[in-house]
Structure 1
Amino acid sequence: MIGERIKKLRDEKGYSITELAELANISKSYLSYIERNLNKNPSIHFLMKLAKTLDVSMEYLLTGMNQTDDHTMNSNGKDFLDKEWQIIIETAIKEGMNKDDFKEYINFIKFKNWEKSR
């Protein structure tokens, strides 16, 4: 949730609630409410100020993930799934493939690669 992410980022930066509120020019009580999930719907203005101060994207504050031009990154900054993979997977699903089909295809590719290496 947003509040938990904000608290984690604040702790990682070593800021107290008071320090972060002052740096971001936001209300300390409002920040506290958000962190404790008493208010689960912070304003965009509030999120913009926090994102800038904490040096993260608003998307990260909202979702826990960062979107770059063609990659989705998880909270560790590692590629999660690029756009091309998303399109390939979505197309396969639309054409009727299911998880078992994908697993069978992976095994087939592994077998073909094994055959080539012999």
Structure 2
Amino acid sequence: MIGERIKKLRLQHGMSLTELAERAGVAKSYISSIERNLQSNPSIQVLEKIATVFHTTAENLLKENQEPVAVDNEWMQILKEAMESGVSKEEFKNFIEFNKFKQGKQ
């Protein structure tokens, strides 16, 4: 359920309910009701606000059979530096594909 995934992400990030509420700009009581599955159908706007705090997407929060993907601050900094240094999406994708190929050869 969506509430369980949000709570798991919050705890993984070492965040209190109050801190998540403040960062997302959503009432603490509303997030609490989502986490306790009392509110099982939160709006997409609320999910997007919560997802942004965890550097993920609302879509990732909604996926039933997959753990939500959270990007930690170090990954965000690496990505930001790559973008600022002029690395294109295509170059980044090529690097990933090359790395997968290289790992498959070993």
* TM superposition score category, shorter chain reference: 0.5 to 0.7
How large is the Cα RMSD of the aligned pairs?
1.7
Quick one: structure 1 residues 44 and 76, their matched pair in 2 at CA, closer, same or farther if it must change by over 3 Å? closer
Name the structure where strand makes up a greater proportion of residues.
Answer: 1
Task: Provide structure 2 residue ranges, at least 5 long, that are not aligned to the other structure.
Answer: 70-106
Distance 1:20 1:76 in 2: 16
Task: Provide structure 1 residue ranges, at least 5 long, that are not aligned to the other structure.
Answer: 66-73, 78-118
Q: Provide, for residues 67-104 of structure 1, a one-character-per-residue CA deviation record: whole Å limited to 9, x for no partner.
A: xxxxxxx4386xxxxxxxxxxxxxxxxxxxxxxxxxxx
Quick one: structure 1 residues 26 and 64, their matched pair in 2 at CA, closer, same or farther if it must change by over 3 Å? same
Q: Provide, for residues 30-60 of structure 1, a one-character-per-residue CA deviation record: whole Å limited to 9, x for no partner.
A: 0000000001000111001001011111111
Query: Match for residue 49 of structure 1?
Result: 49
Contact 1:4 1:35 in 2 (8 A): yes
Distance 2:57 2:16 in 1: 21
Q: How many residues align?
A: 69
Quick one: structure 1 residues 38 and 76, their matched pair in 2 at CA, closer, same or farther if it must change by over 3 Å? closer
TM-score, normalised on structure 1?
Answer: 0.54
Which has the higher Rg, Structure 1 or Structure 2? 1
Distance 2:68 2:45 in 1: 26
Distance 1:60 1:27 in 2: 22
TM-score, normalised on structure 2?
Answer: 0.60
Query: Match for residue 38 of structure 2?
Result: 38
Identity %: 54
Distance 1:45 1:76 in 2: 17
Query: Match for residue 62 of structure 2?
Result: 62
Query: Match for residue 67 of structure 2?
Result: 75
Secondary structure in 2 matching 1:38: coil
Q: After TM superposition, where is structure 1 displaced by more than 2 Å over at least 4 residues in a row?
A: 74-77
Contact 1:18 1:28 in 2 (8 A): yes
Distance 2:38 2:29 in 1: 11
